[in-house]
Amino acid sequence: MKDVAEFFGWLTVAFYTLALFNFLMKAVNKKYPLKIKENKKFEEIYKTVMKYIIRYHKLIGIIAAIGLTVHSSIMYFNVGLRITGLIAASLMVLDALIGIYGYLSKKKRTDPLFDVHRVIAFVLPLAIAVHLLFK
């Protein structure tokens, strides 16, 4: 059962990383548009990947949340509560809730919660790394 939990933990990390690419790809596209356009083949691939990452950001986040729920449930009932896991999971849930709120309320990207959503997204890898190191 622990192997299943570990699989869902890594699935969560993989889909969370894909969700994070939403910001990273947009930032690179905004900061280096001329560099991207220098190589037409690269530009074509980059734009295609970016289109799918942006389009499916919410779905990717939902899959990460499902993976987190399964991973957390299995680990809690088989191993018990790990404070590092609780912190990482809480950050991910908070980030998801802020994202859902922003989407449903149609808030503008100038809303301070949008910045909080991004900050949590970049703090979360540290929390996950601590969880993996000190589980």
Local structure of 135: helix, strand or coil: coil
Q: pLDDT tens across 74-89, in order?
A: 999 999 999 999 999 9
Local structure of 124: helix, strand or coil: helix
DSSP 32: -
Predicted local distance difference test score (pLDDT) of residue 43: 92
Q: pLDDT tens across 94-120, in order?
A: 999 998 988 888 777 778 888 999 999
Q: 45, exposed or middle or buried, with CB in 10 Å at 0-12, 13-18, 19+?
A: exposed
Give kind and range of the element (H or E) at residue 123.
Answer: helix 112-133
Q: How far apart are CA 25 and CA 4, in angstroms?
A: 31
Predicted local distance difference test score (pLDDT) of residue 109: 73
Reported pTM: 0.86
Give residue limits of the domains in the chain: 1-80, 83-135
Average pLDDT over every residue of 56-62: 94
Task: Give the model's confidence band at 56: pLDDT under 50 very low, under 70 low, under 90 confident, else very high.
Answer: very high
Predicted local distance difference test score (pLDDT) of residue 127: 97
Is the predicted pLDDT of residue 126 greater than 80, yes or no? Answer: yes
Q: How far apart are CA 11 and CA 8, in angstroms?
A: 5
